[in-house]
Amino acid sequence: MLGVIQTCFKETTLPELPEVEVVRRGLEATIVGRRLQRVIVRAPRLRFPLASDLDLSMAGTRLVGVSRRSKYLLLDFASQSAADDRAGTLLVHLGMSGTLRFEPAAPPPGRHDHVDLVFEHGTLRFRDPRRFGAVLWHPAHDGPIAEHPLFARLGVEPLSAAFDGDALYAATRGRKVSIKQFLLAGTGVVGVGNIYASESLFRSGIRPSVAAGRISRERCQRLAEAIRATLSESIAHGGTTLRDFFGSDGQGGYFQNECLVYGREGEPCRNCAAPIRMIRQQQRATFYCPNCQR
Ligand SMILES: [Zn+2]
């Protein structure tokens, strides 16, 4: 029911920020408020080892909210009574191939179905063939989730009020790395993956190889707006795909026909008709128009 969307592109089938946000919205609309009955862990090791006592830590708590930090889903669980001090946050990262699906009547697990959160009236199942995903329990008494070490070096959220042209300008000063690599690194702003970096740079007319620190304030303004627009549109499409694939395995052609430059090497620029170029930056494909992007 809660499908997870994968892009059509082989290189980038990993879930990016828009896909994760779509899943977050789906979870929020579907299972917040439900009581967790038990946790079944079938694979003790994903990207990190899974706690063997996850069921003891969590069973009987209630899901009270789902938020997101970068590509981590944060499922907040509250205790049921004052006598029970168990509460905390389950961090879920979909890695390269993870999906979270809510099944009102879960079928028998397949070999890649590693974790089941059994709620009243349904099961939230984590499936991850390549096992680069993560499921981590963070007890509330360990401190605020925002201070978790995984989040220590992350940049600002691109869809938050804290992200704008001024913030991008400030974060890029003195940086000699290319703007494409700066975006992918996630230390200035999180969630701008490979597709979205190429698309946003095209929309703002910025050549991906330009040193981040040499981009003017005005161009940073345009780039910040392009990033927000690209991600927002993609989330809107993901939402559409989620409805389209309701009840299926969630494999979709999401964002497929919307790319302006990504995956279009040699094809005419949609703005000026010059052939789109492809270069590799740190082993990742970058697409741009040599005419429109300076
Ligand atoms: Zn062009």
- Using left for φ > 0, alpha for ψ between -120 and 50, and beta otherwise, residue 35 falls in beta
Please state the rounded mean pLDDT for residues 51-70: 93
Two domains, one topology: 6-151 and 165-288 = no
Res 6: pLDDT = 33
Give 169-174 contacts, CB < 8 A, sequence gap 24+. Answer: 169/215, 169/217, 169/220, 169/221, 172/212, 172/213, 172/215, 172/220, 173/213, 174/213
* Ligand 1 centroid – CA 219 distance (Å): 17
CA-CA distances (angstroms) from residue 50 to 43, 55, 104, 131, 287?
8, 11, 25, 12, 38
Q: What's the gap in Å between 286 CA and the centre of ligand 1? A: 15
User: In sequence order, which residues have a C-beta less than 8 Å from that of residue 284 and are 6 or more positions away?
Assistant: 11, 184, 194
The count of other CB atoms within 10 Å of the CB of residue 75 is 25
> In the prediction, which pLDDT does 85 show?
82
Predicted pLDDT of residue 244: 42
Q: According to the model, what pLDDT value does residue 50 have?
A: 87
Across 49-58, 119-128, 212-221, 248-257, least confident range:
248-257
Of 44-58, 120-134, 280-294, where does the model show the most confidence?
A: 280-294
Backbone angles phi, psi at 15, to 5 degrees: -65, 130
Which pTM was predicted?
A: 0.86
Q: Which of 4-8, 80-84, 173-177 has the lowest mean pLDDT?
A: 4-8
Q: How confident is the model at residue 82 (pLDDT cuts 50, 70, 90)?
A: confident
Report the half-sphere exposure of 37 (CA within 13 A, side-chain side). 8
Instruction: Return the minimum-mean-pLDDT range out of 9-18, 186-195, 244-253, 263-272.
Output: 244-253
- Residue 291, φ and ψ in degrees, nearest 5: -90, -45
Q: What separation in Å is there between the alpha carbon of 160 and the centre of ligand 1? A: 30
Among residues 123, 32, 24, the alpha carbon closest in space to that of 74 is found at 24
Statement: residue 179 has pLDDT above 70:
yes
Domain ranges of the chain: 6-151, 165-288
In this prediction, residues 46-56 reach a mean pLDDT of 88
Q: What is the pLDDT of residue 19?
A: 86
Please name the amino acid found at residue 211.
A
- Ligand 1 ion: nearby residues, β-carbon < 5 Å: 269, 271-272, 274, 289, 291-292
The alpha carbon of 151 and the centre of ligand 1 are apart by a number of angstroms equal to 37
User: What's the pLDDT band for 249 if we cut at 50, 70, 90?
Assistant: very low
Please give the mean pLDDT across all residues of the chain: 88
Q: Name the one residue in this structure whose structure tokens are 């944060």.
A: 74
Q: How far is the CA of 285 from the centre of ligand 1 (A)?
A: 18
- The whole-number average pLDDT for the span 2-10 is 35
How far is the C-alpha of 133 from the C-alpha of 46, rounded, in Å? 6
267: CA distance to ligand 1 center in Å? 11
Which of the residues are catalytic? Answer: 15-16, 71, 284
- Across residues 63-81, what is the average pLDDT? 95
Q: What is the distance in A from the centroid of ligand 1 to the CA of 276?
A: 7
Determine whether domain 6-151 maps to CATH 1.10.10.10. Answer: no
Class of domain 165-288 as given by CATH? mainly alpha
Task: State yes or no: pLDDT of 122 exceeds 90.
Answer: yes
Q: Which residue has the higher pLDDT, 79 or 242?
A: 79
pLDDT in tens, 17-33: 988 998 999 899 889 99
Length of the chain: 294
Average pLDDT for residues 155-182, to the nearest whole number?
A: 97
Ligand 1 centroid to 189 CA: how many Å? 26
More confident residue, 3 or 184: 184
